[in-house]
């Protein structure tokens, strides 16, 4: 088949790479290079992903499999975290003991010397135990993190000082969004091995993975200027800003849901309603050298530093890039700050970028279940022939990270393979 994939993020690159094994594939990307690496910057001669991308194998099995198949080298890094207030003074800190592929979080006596810090540790241990047991029993469906914490009387020091700020940092959302996060999603994230496995990064950054994926795609068009897609019978037209129109047998919209809604010109009403159900939060990322974003005392710096202030609706998260990217270990300090509460000095700013991340709540969970059912049914010919497919981090269960994006790509590639096989071949093969 002749297939177009719109969007060159990790989901689009993976979908196009997988489909190129059997079909003629064109990948359209709006940026001058694939979106997965479009915001990366060179710092002291070293390419730095922006935002930084890390993973741990237990929660990222599909990404791990993809990197292994591509030959992308990875390495363990520490993601120990310090939590401070608006004054830059530490109120809690956890450290990492890394032994090979293991990563064991721990605290020193000095880290739990205050009653507040001790209550945080007690709450963390209780939440992990209670949420894990409830997940195993299937009791978390329909329950939010905030509801679970209230029902079990978890200490406010833990909920407001660690649980919600950590979740808001991982999911890059507001503290209130974190409170409304589905509890089963968070429990599954913890159960994936976060407290046992080392966080890892691609040794040569996202550029390496993007290059390897792009090399396996028949045609990659950057700065593509795609204005819309329109399904007409057995073909889908891709309309570009140049006025050029290209026809394809299928089109994969590997973009955000809100971008897919804007591009798809004649979607079935049910699909338009589904796409509208996925909401997004804007986030800003700064690359800079301003040490004011770090804890006041240098010895309190961690690879990740969260600033939690009641007057802000989300934590400010600053990553000490030198601590997680070995090539910069001996360079001048460089930082990435997500959701900045303040701005760095102009002479210390290296770059800035803005993104949007899917919001996960009870409404998005319902929409996700319907979306996955509709695409599975279309692939199995239980609905009229479908030519436009949806792919992205929002289109898979879990925290919308690299794993869900890649898993979505594998899913849509499998659906298109089933659609290509036709009812007769599927029946003969038993699929």
pLDDT surpassing 70 at residue 384: no
Question: Residue 430: pLDDT above 50?
Answer: no
* Angle between helix 362-379 and 269-276 (nearest 10): 150
pLDDT in tens, 316-349: 999 999 999 999 999 999 999 999 999 999 999 9
On the question of a cis peptide bond just before residue 273, with omega within 30 degrees of 0, the verdict is: no
Q: How far is residue 118's CA from residue 129's CA, in Å, rounded to a whole number?
A: 17
Contact predicate 95/316, CB 8 Å: no
SS3 325: coil
Give yes or no for residue 13 having a pLDDT over 90. Answer: yes
49 vs 431: which has the higher pLDDT:
49
Q: In angstroms, rounded to a whole number, what is the distance separating the alpha carbons of residues 168 and 314?
A: 7
Distance separating alpha carbons of residues 394 and 263, to the nearest angstrom: 17
Average pLDDT, integer, range 98-126: 91
Fold of 2-38+203-277+360-429: FAD/NAD(P)-binding domain (3.50.50)
* Number of residues written out for the chain: 431
Q: Is the pLDDT of residue 374 over 90?
A: no
Per-residue pLDDT at 415 exceeds 80: yes
Rounded to a whole number of angstroms, the distance between the first and last alpha carbons of the chain is 20
Read off the tokens for 277: 């159900």
Give the pLDDT band (50/70/90) at residue 381: low
- Which residues, 6+ apart, have CB-to-CB distance to 428 below 8 Å? none
H-helix or E-strand containing 429? helix 402-429
CA atoms of 51 and 36, how far apart (whole Å): 10
Mean pLDDT of all residues in the chain?
Answer: 92
Cis peptide leading into 147, omega within 30 of 0? no
| Residues carrying CATH 3.50.50.60, the chain | 2-38+203-277+360-429
Beta bridge partners of 351: 287
Question: What region does 185 belong to: left with phi over 0, alpha with psi -120 to 50, or beta?
Answer: alpha
Nearest to 270 by CA among 353, 360, 361, 386: 386
Alpha carbons within 13 angstroms on the beta-carbon side of residue 171 total 30
Mean pLDDT of 220-239: 94
How far is Cα 114 from Cα 85, in angstroms, rounded to an integer? 14
The mean pLDDT of 141-167, rounded to a whole number, is 96
With a pLDDT cut of 70, the percent of the chain lying above it is 97
Angle at CA 421, nearest 5°, toward 418 and 423?
90
Residues of the chain with pLDDT > 90, as a percent, come to 83
SS3 331: coil
426: confidence class by pLDDT, cuts 50, 70, 90 = very low
From CA 132, how far away is CA 229, in angstroms rounded? 44
CA atoms within 13 A on the CB side of 41: 18
Q: How far apart are CA 51 and CA 37, in angstroms?
A: 9
Confidence of residue 427 (pLDDT cuts 50, 70, 90): very low
Q: Model pTM?
A: 0.93
For residues 34, 39, 42, 48, the Cα torsion angle rounded to the nearest 10 degrees is -90
Better-scored residue on pLDDT, 150 or 39:
150
- Bridge pairing between strands 81-84 and 90-99: antiparallel
Rounded to whole angstroms, how far apart are CA atoms 6 and 253?
5
Q: What is the pLDDT of residue 423?
A: 53
Mean pLDDT, rounded, for 93-109: 87
| Least confident piece of the model among 146-160, 191-205, 384-398 | 191-205
pLDDT surpassing 60 at residue 425: no
For residue 192, pLDDT over 60 is answered with: yes
pLDDT of 238 higher than 80: yes
Query: What's the rounded Cα separation, in Å, for the pair 81 and 114?
Result: 17
Place 133 in a pLDDT band, splitting at 50, 70 and 90.
very high
**422 sits in which H/E element:** helix 402-429
Q: Which of 89-93, 131-135, 178-182, 384-388 has the lowest mean pLDDT?
A: 384-388
Which neighbouring-strand residues pair with 317? 306, 338
Mean pLDDT of 19-34: 94
Q: How far is CA 173 from CA 157, 279, 367, 400, in A?
A: 20, 11, 19, 11
The residues that bridge with 240 in the sheet, in sequence order, are 226
């Amino acid at each position: 088949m002749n297939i177009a994939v719109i969007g060159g993020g990790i989901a689009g690159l993976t979908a196009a790479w997988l489909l190129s094994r059997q079909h003629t594939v064109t990948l359209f990307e709006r940026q001058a290079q694939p979106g997965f690496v479009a915001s990366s910057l060179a710092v002291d001669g070293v390419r730095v992903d922006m935002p930084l991308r890390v993973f741990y194998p237990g929660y990222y099995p599909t990404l791990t499999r993809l990197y292994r198949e591509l030959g992308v080298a990875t390495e363990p890094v520490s993601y120990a975290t310090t939590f401070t207030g608006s004054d830059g003074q530490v109120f809690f800190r956890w450290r990492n003991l890394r032994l090979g592929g293991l990563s064991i979080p721990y605290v020193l006596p000095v880290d739990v010397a205050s009653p507040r810090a001790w209550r945080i540790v007690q709450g963390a241990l209780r939440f992990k135990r209670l949420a894990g047991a409830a997940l195993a029993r299937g009791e978390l469906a329909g329950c939010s993190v905030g509801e679970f914490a209230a029902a079990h009387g978890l200490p406010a020091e833990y909920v407001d000082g660690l649980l919600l700020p950590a979740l808001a940092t991982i999911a890059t959302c507001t503290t209130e969004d974190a409170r409304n996060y589905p509890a089963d999603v968070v429990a599954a994230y913890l159960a994936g091995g976060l407290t046992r496995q080392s966080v890892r990064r691609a040794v040569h950054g996202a550029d390496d993975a993007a290059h390897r994926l792009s090399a396996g795609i028949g045609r990659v068009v950057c700065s593509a200027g795609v204005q819309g897609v329109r399904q007409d019978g057995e073909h889908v037209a891709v309309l570009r800003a140049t006025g050029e129109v290209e026809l394809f047998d299928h089109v994969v919209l590997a973009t955000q849901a809100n971008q897919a809604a804007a591009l798809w010109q004649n979607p079935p009403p049910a699909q338009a309603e589904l796409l509208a159900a996925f909401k997004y939060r804007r986030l800003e990322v700064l690359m800079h050298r301003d040490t004011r974003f770090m804890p006041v005392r240098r010895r309190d710096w961690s690879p990740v530093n969260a600033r939690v202030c009641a007057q802000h609706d989300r934590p400010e998260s600053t990553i000490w890039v030198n601590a997680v990217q070995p090539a910069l270990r001996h360079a001048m300090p460089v930082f990435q700050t997500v959701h900045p509460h303040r701005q760095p000095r102009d002479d210390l700013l290296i770059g800035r970028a803005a993104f949007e991340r899917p919001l996960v709540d009870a409404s998005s969970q319902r929409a996700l279940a319907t979306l996955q059912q509709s695409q599975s049914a279309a692939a199995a010919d239980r609905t009229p022939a479908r030519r436009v497919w949806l792919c992205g981090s929002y289109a898979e269960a879990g925290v919308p990270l690299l794993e869900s994006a890649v898993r979505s790509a594998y899913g849509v590639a499998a659906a298109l393979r089933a659609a290509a096989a036709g009812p007769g071949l599927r029946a003969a093969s038993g699929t």
